[in-house]
Structure 1
Amino acid sequence: MSKRRLDAVDKRIVEWLSRDARTSNRHIAAELGVTEGTVRARIKRMEEEKLIRITAVTNIDRFRDAALAYIWIEVERSSQAREVAEQLAAMKELGFVALMMGRFDILAITMVRNYEDLAEFVHARITGLEGVRRTESTLGVNFVKHDYRMARIVG
Protein backbone atom coordinates (compact mmCIF):
# COMPACT_ATOMS: atom_id res chain seq x y z
CA MET A 1 0.00 0.00 0.00
CA SER A 2 1.58 3.28 -1.05
CA LYS A 3 1.27 6.17 1.34
CA ARG A 4 0.31 9.54 0.04
CA ARG A 5 0.41 13.00 1.49
CA LEU A 6 -2.56 14.52 3.27
CA ASP A 7 -4.54 16.80 0.98
CA ALA A 8 -6.56 19.82 2.11
CA VAL A 9 -9.69 17.76 2.93
CA ASP A 10 -7.65 15.21 4.93
CA LYS A 11 -6.04 18.03 6.91
CA ARG A 12 -9.40 19.61 7.71
CA ILE A 13 -10.76 16.22 8.86
CA VAL A 14 -7.73 15.80 11.12
CA GLU A 15 -8.29 19.32 12.50
CA TRP A 16 -11.86 18.43 13.45
CA LEU A 17 -10.83 15.11 15.00
CA SER A 18 -7.97 16.70 16.93
CA ARG A 19 -10.43 19.06 18.63
CA ASP A 20 -12.82 16.22 19.52
CA ALA A 21 -12.31 12.70 18.17
CA ARG A 22 -15.94 11.92 19.00
CA THR A 23 -17.20 14.39 16.38
CA SER A 24 -19.50 12.47 14.04
CA ASN A 25 -18.55 11.85 10.45
CA ARG A 26 -21.89 13.42 9.49
CA HIS A 27 -21.03 16.67 11.31
CA ILE A 28 -17.53 16.84 9.80
CA ALA A 29 -18.96 16.15 6.33
CA ALA A 30 -21.52 18.94 6.70
CA GLU A 31 -18.83 21.39 7.86
CA LEU A 32 -16.51 20.49 4.97
CA GLY A 33 -19.16 20.20 2.26
CA VAL A 34 -18.43 16.56 1.42
CA THR A 35 -20.38 13.33 1.93
CA GLU A 36 -20.32 11.34 5.14
CA GLY A 37 -18.95 8.39 3.14
CA THR A 38 -16.02 10.53 2.00
CA VAL A 39 -15.15 11.41 5.59
CA ARG A 40 -15.50 7.79 6.74
CA ALA A 41 -13.34 6.47 3.87
CA ARG A 42 -10.64 9.08 4.38
CA ILE A 43 -10.43 8.42 8.12
CA LYS A 44 -10.20 4.68 7.46
CA ARG A 45 -7.44 5.20 4.88
CA MET A 46 -5.46 7.53 7.12
CA GLU A 47 -5.69 5.02 9.99
CA GLU A 48 -4.68 2.10 7.75
CA GLU A 49 -1.70 4.07 6.44
CA LYS A 50 -0.83 4.99 10.04
CA LEU A 51 -1.06 8.69 9.24
CA ILE A 52 -3.42 9.17 12.18
CA ARG A 53 -4.39 7.26 15.31
CA ILE A 54 -7.57 8.04 17.18
CA THR A 55 -7.08 7.61 20.91
CA ALA A 56 -7.96 9.07 24.30
CA VAL A 57 -5.33 11.13 26.13
CA THR A 58 -5.08 12.13 29.75
CA ASN A 59 -5.41 15.79 30.65
CA ILE A 60 -2.26 16.56 32.65
CA ASP A 61 -3.86 19.72 34.00
CA ARG A 62 -6.08 17.46 36.14
CA PHE A 63 -3.12 15.74 37.86
CA ARG A 64 -2.53 18.21 40.68
CA ASP A 65 -0.40 15.72 42.63
CA ALA A 66 1.95 14.95 39.75
CA ALA A 67 4.49 16.80 37.63
CA LEU A 68 5.88 16.19 34.18
CA ALA A 69 9.55 15.23 34.45
CA TYR A 70 12.01 15.71 31.60
CA ILE A 71 15.05 13.44 31.80
CA TRP A 72 17.90 14.46 29.50
CA ILE A 73 20.40 11.67 28.87
CA GLU A 74 23.93 11.79 27.49
CA VAL A 75 25.46 8.52 26.30
CA GLU A 76 29.14 7.62 26.30
CA ARG A 77 29.35 6.95 22.55
CA SER A 78 26.85 8.18 19.99
CA SER A 79 26.65 4.65 18.58
CA GLN A 80 24.98 3.61 21.87
CA ALA A 81 22.16 6.16 21.69
CA ARG A 82 19.60 4.01 19.85
CA GLU A 83 20.20 0.96 22.07
CA VAL A 84 19.86 3.03 25.25
CA ALA A 85 16.72 4.72 23.86
CA GLU A 86 15.16 1.34 23.09
CA GLN A 87 15.83 0.15 26.65
CA LEU A 88 14.22 3.33 27.95
CA ALA A 89 11.23 2.92 25.63
CA ALA A 90 10.59 -0.51 27.17
CA MET A 91 10.09 1.09 30.61
CA LYS A 92 6.38 1.44 31.29
CA GLU A 93 6.96 4.54 33.40
CA LEU A 94 8.22 6.53 30.42
CA GLY A 95 5.60 7.96 28.09
CA PHE A 96 8.02 9.58 25.64
CA VAL A 97 11.54 8.69 24.50
CA ALA A 98 13.33 10.42 21.61
CA LEU A 99 16.79 10.64 20.13
CA MET A 100 17.81 14.28 20.15
CA MET A 101 20.22 16.63 18.43
CA GLY A 102 22.21 18.98 20.60
CA ARG A 103 23.73 18.78 24.05
CA PHE A 104 21.93 15.59 25.08
CA ASP A 105 21.43 12.41 23.08
CA ILE A 106 18.05 11.32 24.46
CA LEU A 107 15.00 12.91 26.07
CA ALA A 108 12.66 10.81 28.19
CA ILE A 109 9.46 12.14 29.76
CA THR A 110 7.46 10.72 32.65
CA MET A 111 5.07 11.79 35.43
CA VAL A 112 6.31 11.93 39.03
CA ARG A 113 4.89 13.09 42.35
CA ASN A 114 7.98 14.98 43.53
CA TYR A 115 11.75 15.43 43.23
CA GLU A 116 12.38 12.43 45.48
CA ASP A 117 10.41 10.09 43.22
CA LEU A 118 12.22 11.49 40.19
CA ALA A 119 15.64 11.02 41.80
CA GLU A 120 14.75 7.46 42.85
CA PHE A 121 13.59 6.55 39.34
CA VAL A 122 16.59 8.11 37.58
CA HIS A 123 19.14 6.55 39.93
CA ALA A 124 17.50 3.13 40.15
CA ARG A 125 16.47 2.66 36.52
CA ILE A 126 18.38 4.96 34.18
CA THR A 127 21.89 5.79 35.36
CA GLY A 128 22.73 2.10 35.64
CA LEU A 129 22.05 1.39 31.97
CA GLU A 130 25.17 0.55 30.04
CA GLY A 131 26.22 3.49 27.92
CA VAL A 132 24.60 6.22 30.03
CA ARG A 133 27.24 8.85 30.82
CA ARG A 134 25.08 11.35 32.69
CA THR A 135 21.56 12.62 33.13
CA GLU A 136 19.97 15.94 33.89
CA SER A 137 16.36 16.22 35.03
CA THR A 138 13.85 19.03 35.19
CA LEU A 139 10.24 19.25 36.34
CA GLY A 140 7.54 21.13 34.52
CA VAL A 141 5.74 23.05 37.26
CA ASN A 142 3.36 25.42 35.51
CA PHE A 143 2.30 24.84 31.94
CA VAL A 144 1.44 27.96 30.01
CA LYS A 145 0.41 25.87 27.00
CA HIS A 146 0.10 22.12 26.64
CA ASP A 147 -1.30 20.91 23.34
CA TYR A 148 -1.23 17.12 23.07
CA ARG A 149 -1.90 17.57 19.34
CA MET A 150 1.78 18.29 18.68
CA ALA A 151 1.65 16.62 15.27
CA ARG A 152 1.22 19.89 13.40
CA ILE A 153 4.09 20.53 11.04
CA VAL A 154 5.46 24.02 10.75
CA GLY A 155 5.86 25.29 7.22
Structure 2
Amino acid sequence: MRAEAKGERRGRGKAQNGREAAEFETDDMDERIIAALRQNGRIANRDLARDMGVNEATVRTRLRRLEEANMLRVVAMRDLSAMGFEYLAPVGVQVKGRAATAVGEELARLERVITVNVAIGTHDLEIQVVSSSLAEMEELLTNVIAKIDGVERLFPSLALKVLKYNPEWAPL
Protein backbone atom coordinates (compact mmCIF):
# COMPACT_ATOMS: atom_id res chain seq x y z
CA MET A 1 0.00 0.00 0.00
CA ARG A 2 1.45 3.37 -0.97
CA ALA A 3 1.81 6.25 1.45
CA GLU A 4 -0.78 8.99 1.13
CA ALA A 5 0.32 12.18 -0.55
CA LYS A 6 0.15 15.39 1.44
CA GLY A 7 -3.42 16.71 1.41
CA GLU A 8 -4.85 13.39 0.25
CA ARG A 9 -7.55 11.86 2.37
CA ARG A 10 -8.88 8.37 2.17
CA GLY A 11 -12.38 7.30 2.92
CA ARG A 12 -14.83 4.60 2.14
CA GLY A 13 -18.16 5.87 0.92
CA LYS A 14 -21.40 4.01 0.49
CA ALA A 15 -22.73 3.48 -2.98
CA GLN A 16 -26.27 4.68 -3.73
CA ASN A 17 -27.57 1.12 -3.31
CA GLY A 18 -26.24 1.02 0.29
CA ARG A 19 -23.35 -1.31 -0.47
CA GLU A 20 -19.83 -0.36 0.46
CA ALA A 21 -18.11 1.66 -2.24
CA ALA A 22 -14.52 1.22 -3.31
CA GLU A 23 -11.85 3.14 -1.42
CA PHE A 24 -12.08 6.77 -2.36
CA GLU A 25 -9.44 9.45 -2.12
CA THR A 26 -10.04 13.17 -1.99
CA ASP A 27 -7.30 15.58 -2.94
CA ASP A 28 -6.71 19.27 -2.30
CA MET A 29 -9.04 20.32 -5.12
CA ASP A 30 -11.87 18.17 -3.73
CA GLU A 31 -11.26 19.68 -0.28
CA ARG A 32 -11.30 23.21 -1.75
CA ILE A 33 -14.63 22.46 -3.46
CA ILE A 34 -16.05 21.14 -0.20
CA ALA A 35 -14.75 24.18 1.72
CA ALA A 36 -16.32 26.56 -0.81
CA LEU A 37 -19.67 24.76 -0.54
CA ARG A 38 -19.51 25.02 3.26
CA GLN A 39 -19.31 28.80 2.83
CA ASN A 40 -22.04 28.96 0.19
CA GLY A 41 -23.95 25.80 -0.66
CA ARG A 42 -25.74 27.62 -3.47
CA ILE A 43 -22.65 28.74 -5.40
CA ALA A 44 -22.92 27.99 -9.12
CA ASN A 45 -20.48 25.50 -10.61
CA ARG A 46 -19.41 28.24 -13.03
CA ASP A 47 -18.49 30.62 -10.18
CA LEU A 48 -16.81 27.86 -8.20
CA ALA A 49 -14.70 26.91 -11.25
CA ARG A 50 -13.73 30.54 -11.84
CA ASP A 51 -12.71 30.99 -8.17
CA MET A 52 -10.62 27.82 -8.29
CA GLY A 53 -9.03 28.54 -11.67
CA VAL A 54 -10.37 25.40 -13.37
CA ASN A 55 -13.05 24.77 -15.96
CA GLU A 56 -16.67 24.15 -15.05
CA ALA A 57 -16.59 20.55 -16.34
CA THR A 58 -13.85 19.72 -13.81
CA VAL A 59 -15.97 21.01 -10.93
CA ARG A 60 -19.08 19.24 -12.21
CA THR A 61 -17.22 15.92 -12.61
CA ARG A 62 -15.67 16.12 -9.15
CA LEU A 63 -18.99 17.03 -7.51
CA ARG A 64 -20.73 14.12 -9.23
CA ARG A 65 -17.97 11.73 -8.11
CA LEU A 66 -18.15 12.97 -4.48
CA GLU A 67 -21.96 12.73 -4.47
CA GLU A 68 -22.04 9.26 -6.04
CA ALA A 69 -19.61 8.00 -3.39
CA ASN A 70 -21.84 9.60 -0.72
CA MET A 71 -18.86 11.61 0.45
CA LEU A 72 -20.68 14.91 -0.15
CA ARG A 73 -24.26 16.07 0.07
CA VAL A 74 -25.34 19.69 -0.20
CA VAL A 75 -28.19 20.33 2.25
CA ALA A 76 -29.91 23.24 3.93
CA MET A 77 -29.26 23.52 7.64
CA ARG A 78 -31.39 25.34 10.15
CA ASP A 79 -29.91 28.08 12.29
CA LEU A 80 -31.41 27.08 15.64
CA SER A 81 -30.81 30.45 17.27
CA ALA A 82 -32.38 32.35 14.37
CA MET A 83 -35.41 30.05 14.65
CA GLY A 84 -35.86 31.02 18.30
CA PHE A 85 -34.35 27.93 19.91
CA GLU A 86 -32.21 29.58 22.57
CA TYR A 87 -31.76 26.49 24.75
CA LEU A 88 -29.87 23.30 23.93
CA ALA A 89 -29.75 20.39 26.35
CA PRO A 90 -27.66 17.25 25.95
CA VAL A 91 -29.50 14.50 27.82
CA GLY A 92 -28.34 11.04 28.84
CA VAL A 93 -31.17 8.51 28.97
CA GLN A 94 -31.20 5.24 30.92
CA VAL A 95 -33.64 2.70 29.52
CA LYS A 96 -35.32 -0.18 31.36
CA GLY A 97 -37.88 -2.77 30.28
CA ARG A 98 -37.64 -1.97 26.60
CA ALA A 99 -34.97 -2.04 23.90
CA ALA A 100 -32.89 1.14 23.78
CA THR A 101 -33.33 1.29 20.01
CA ALA A 102 -37.13 1.20 20.32
CA VAL A 103 -37.07 4.01 22.89
CA GLY A 104 -34.64 5.94 20.71
CA GLU A 105 -36.88 5.59 17.66
CA GLU A 106 -39.80 6.99 19.65
CA LEU A 107 -37.68 9.89 20.91
CA ALA A 108 -36.53 10.57 17.35
CA ARG A 109 -40.13 11.29 16.35
CA LEU A 110 -40.27 14.28 18.73
CA GLU A 111 -39.75 17.56 16.87
CA ARG A 112 -37.61 19.20 19.57
CA VAL A 113 -35.28 16.19 19.88
CA ILE A 114 -32.61 16.95 17.27
CA THR A 115 -30.20 14.03 17.80
CA VAL A 116 -30.62 10.50 19.14
CA ASN A 117 -27.68 8.14 19.61
CA VAL A 118 -27.66 4.63 21.04
CA ALA A 119 -24.67 4.62 23.37
CA ILE A 120 -22.56 2.37 25.52
CA GLY A 121 -21.54 3.52 28.97
CA THR A 122 -23.49 5.25 31.71
CA HIS A 123 -26.41 6.06 29.41
CA ASP A 124 -28.21 3.85 26.92
CA LEU A 125 -29.14 6.82 24.76
CA GLU A 126 -27.72 10.28 24.27
CA ILE A 127 -30.06 12.90 22.88
CA GLN A 128 -30.06 16.64 22.27
CA VAL A 129 -33.15 18.70 22.88
CA VAL A 130 -33.84 22.30 21.82
CA SER A 131 -36.42 24.73 23.16
CA SER A 132 -37.33 28.38 22.95
CA SER A 133 -37.70 28.81 26.71
CA LEU A 134 -36.75 27.16 29.98
CA ALA A 135 -40.45 26.47 30.63
CA GLU A 136 -40.68 24.60 27.32
CA MET A 137 -37.49 22.65 28.18
CA GLU A 138 -38.95 21.68 31.55
CA GLU A 139 -42.18 20.55 29.87
CA LEU A 140 -40.28 18.46 27.31
CA LEU A 141 -38.07 16.77 29.87
CA THR A 142 -40.59 16.13 32.65
CA ASN A 143 -43.91 15.68 30.87
CA VAL A 144 -42.97 14.33 27.46
CA ILE A 145 -39.60 12.56 27.39
CA ALA A 146 -39.68 11.19 30.95
CA LYS A 147 -43.14 9.68 30.31
CA ILE A 148 -42.07 7.61 27.30
CA ASP A 149 -42.35 3.88 28.02
CA GLY A 150 -38.90 2.51 28.81
CA VAL A 151 -37.32 5.81 29.90
CA GLU A 152 -36.10 5.07 33.41
CA ARG A 153 -33.94 8.08 34.18
CA LEU A 154 -32.79 11.30 32.50
CA PHE A 155 -29.46 13.04 32.98
CA PRO A 156 -29.97 16.48 31.44
CA SER A 157 -27.44 19.26 31.14
CA LEU A 158 -28.02 22.73 29.79
CA ALA A 159 -25.59 24.17 27.27
CA LEU A 160 -24.80 27.67 28.53
CA LYS A 161 -22.70 28.60 25.52
CA VAL A 162 -21.92 26.52 22.45
CA LEU A 163 -18.20 27.01 21.79
CA LYS A 164 -17.97 24.65 18.83
CA TYR A 165 -20.55 23.01 16.64
CA ASN A 166 -19.19 21.43 13.49
CA PRO A 167 -22.13 20.88 11.12
CA GLU A 168 -19.86 19.75 8.27
CA TRP A 169 -20.00 16.22 9.69
CA ALA A 170 -23.76 16.13 9.82
CA PRO A 171 -26.23 14.83 8.86
CA LEU A 172 -25.17 11.22 8.96
Shorter chain as denominator, the TM-score bin is 0.7 to 0.9
TM-score (norm: length of structure 1): 0.77
2:39 to 19, 23, 26: 19
Aligned-partner SS, 1:21:
coil
- 1:65 Cα deviation from its structure 2 partner: 6.2
SS at match of 2:21: coil
Tell me the number of residue pairs that the alignment of Structure 1 and Structure 2 aligns: 150
**TM-score, length-scaled by structure 2:** 0.71
Larger Rg: 2
- Structure 2 CA distance for aligned equivalents of residues 88 and 132 of structure 1: 10
- In the other structure, the counterpart of 2:59 is 39
Residues 64-121 of structure 1: CA distance to partner in whole angstroms, max 9, x if unpaired?
66211222211126x7121111111122222211122332121222221233221211
Query: How far has the Cα of 1:49 moved from its partner?
Result: 4.0
Residue identity opposite 1:21 in structure 2: G
The separation in 1 between residues aligned to 2:102 and 2:35, in whole angstroms, is 35
1:91 alignment partner, one of 104, 110, 117: 110
1:55 paired with 2:69, answer: no
1: CA distance, partners of 2:25 / 2:76: 22
Matches of 1:116 and 1:73 in 2, distance apart?
20
Query: For residue 147 of structure 1, what is the aligned residue in structure 2?
Result: 166
Q: RMSD in angstroms over aligned alpha carbons?
A: 2.6
User: Which structure shows the bigger proportion of residues in helix conformation?
Assistant: 1
Of 129, 133, 145, 1:126 maps to: 145
Aligned sequence identity (%):
26
Tell me which stretches of 4 or more aligned residues in structure 1 moved more than 6 Å. Answer: none
Residues 1:98 and 1:40: Cα distance change in structure 2 (over 3 Å) = same
Higher relative contact order (CA 8 A, sep 6+): 1
Q: Secondary structure at the match of 2:142?
A: helix
Structure 1 gap ranges (5+): none
Distance (Å, rounded) in 1 between the aligned partners of 2:103 and 2:37 = 35
In structure 2, the gaps of 5 or more residues are: 1-14
